[in-house]
């Protein structure tokens, strides 16, 4: 008799395992970003706020123009009229992009898949910035269309060959991207949605207004370098910048210098967040 020889059975994996890369990390974060309901609602709110306030600004300015006989208006001013409310929605989105994962515990699965950690933070920031840039451009395009009925009354012009108009137009997406990254970095540091939102709103709105009421020279020197105070200069025309400088006793930053200050805030906070992410447990 001969013993029967068993043929070994080889099992093939049903899912191909691919090495982890930054591109795949970005792709996974992109999918995760759009699967959260708050993302959609926040972006819709951002577009609605920007378009709605631009329409109100155009309507109100047209009434003023008829009554006072004021000169022509730069359309770029109308497109960025809702930036203050929009930045709040964008800040919420930036915080929830990272802090939301800590509240649900999803961050543990994310870091298990990408153990190096810092690429995760970079990929999230990359996806967030790209979406904010896109939604800003969409909002500006819709705002332009929505305010067209008042352009003739305002004598509104939109000449992108003009340096100031180009700066103000490009400045809105750049400003909102920086605010989103600023809120994201604070969310990564504090790891708690409510605490991070409180800190972001305080730095963007509350602290600035409080410091203006304190007539101390040291505070007057600090105020122009707060994130929103510095960054939003990119959105102002020459007349508004002059009016702002007239009541500011500290440094008078140029629009691009002010934006550089905001970017510096983002880079410093982002670097600290990356260091803390590597050192702390999820």
Q: Which long-range contacts (CB under 8 A, 24 or more apart) does 28-33 make?
A: 28/113, 28/123, 29/120, 29/123, 29/124, 29/126, 29/127, 30/127, 32/106, 33/97, 33/124, 33/127, 33/128, 33/131
For the chain, domain boundaries: 23-279
228: nearest Cα among 249, 247, 211: 211
pLDDT > 60? residue 214: yes
pLDDT in tens, 97-122: 999 888 888 888 888 888 888 999 99
Give the phi and the psi of residue 74 in degrees, each rounded to 5: -80, 125
pLDDT in tens, 219-240: 777 888 889 889 999 999 888 8
157 strand-pairing partners? 74
Average pLDDT over residues 157-166: 89
Q: Which of 14-18, 82-86, 220-224 has the lowest mean pLDDT?
A: 14-18
pLDDT > 90? residue 62: no
Percent of the chain with pLDDT over 70: 88
Q: Which of 16-20, 187-191, 231-235 has the lowest mean pLDDT?
A: 16-20
pLDDT of residue 7: 55
Reported pTM: 0.88
pLDDT in tens, 68-81: 545 577 888 899 99
pLDDT of residue 272: 95
């Amino acid at each position: 008799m001969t013993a029967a020889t068993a043929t070994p059975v080889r099992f093939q994996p049903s899912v191909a395992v691919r090495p982890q890369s930054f591109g795949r990390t970005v792709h996974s974060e992109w999918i995760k970003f759009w699967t959260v309901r708050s993302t959609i609602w926040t972006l819709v709110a951002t577009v609605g706020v920007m378009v709605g306030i631009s329409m109100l600004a155009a309507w109100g300015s047209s009434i003023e123009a008829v009554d006072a006989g004021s000169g022509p208006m730069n359309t770029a001013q109308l497109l960025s009229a809702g930036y203050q409310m929009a930045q709040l929605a964008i800040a919420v989105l930036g915080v929830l992009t990272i802090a939301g994962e800590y509240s649900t515990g999803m961050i543990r699965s994310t870091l298990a898949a990408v153990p190096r950690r810092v690429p995760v933070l970079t990929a999230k920031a990359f996806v967030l910035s790209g979406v904010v840039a896109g939604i800003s451009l969409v909002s500006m395009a819709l705002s332009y269309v929505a305010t067209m009925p008042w352009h003739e009354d305002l004598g509104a012009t939109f000449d992108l060959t003009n340096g100031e108009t180009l700066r103000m137009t490009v400045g809105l997406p750049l400003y909102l991207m920086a605010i989103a990254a600023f809120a994201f970095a604070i969310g990564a540091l504090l790891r708690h949605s409510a605490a991070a939102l409180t800190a972001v709103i305080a730095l963007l709105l509350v602290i600035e207004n409080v410091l203006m009421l304190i007539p101390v020279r040291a505070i007057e020197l600090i105020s122009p370098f707060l994130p929103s105070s510095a960054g939003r200069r990119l959105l102002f025309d020459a007349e508004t910048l002059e009016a702002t400088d007239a009541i500011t006793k500290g440094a008078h930053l140029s629009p691009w210098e002010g934006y550089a200050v905001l970017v510096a805030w983002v880079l410093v906070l982002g670097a600290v967040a990356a260091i803390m992410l590597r050192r702390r447990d999820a």
